[in-house]
Amino acid sequence: MSMDNATEPKPRQWGWLLLFASSTTLLCCALPIVLIALGFGAVSAALFSNLPFLVVLAHHKVWLFAGSGAALALAAWALYRPGRACPADPELAARCASADKWNRRVFAASVAIWAVGFTAAFLSLPLLHLYQAFAGK
């Protein structure tokens, strides 16, 4: 091992942790909304009665969505910041490219889940009222 390799910064593994944490947080909040939208209201009620922390999360949804949105913004910066490059070694470059591809997939899924949860939690009622106003109901 040469001195050049010893001075190279090690790849950061916190990207996966950040994406996983934001995904699980969003699934926690979006799951009851999705269940109700699919007609499984009884399942959602059973979840809320058996997992009381969901009630606490629902009461603090503004902070939860703000925090998870900030986490997603930080993950986006980590994934798409300028100057990112994979190592020159072909084996490490292949691993780096594969990890980058999976990071982007997990990030896209996290953003989609966050968008569904945000729409259901904050936009569905105003959009319903807007629709009713234009429909004359």
- Per-residue pLDDT of 91-109, as tens digits, reads 888 888 888 888 888 888 8
The per-residue pLDDT for 3 is: 44
pLDDT digits (tens, 9 = 90+) for 73-97: 888 888 888 888 888 888 888 888 8
Question: Which residue in this structure is represented by tokens 């050049």?
Answer: 4
Identify the band that residue 122 occupies on the pLDDT scale cut at 50, 70 and 90. Answer: confident
With cut-offs at 50, 70 and 90, classify the pLDDT of residue 24. Answer: low
Task: For Cα atoms 22, 23, 25, give the angle at the middle one, nearest 5 degrees.
Answer: 65
Could you tell me the end-to-end alpha-carbon distance of the chain, in angstroms, rounded to an integer? 74
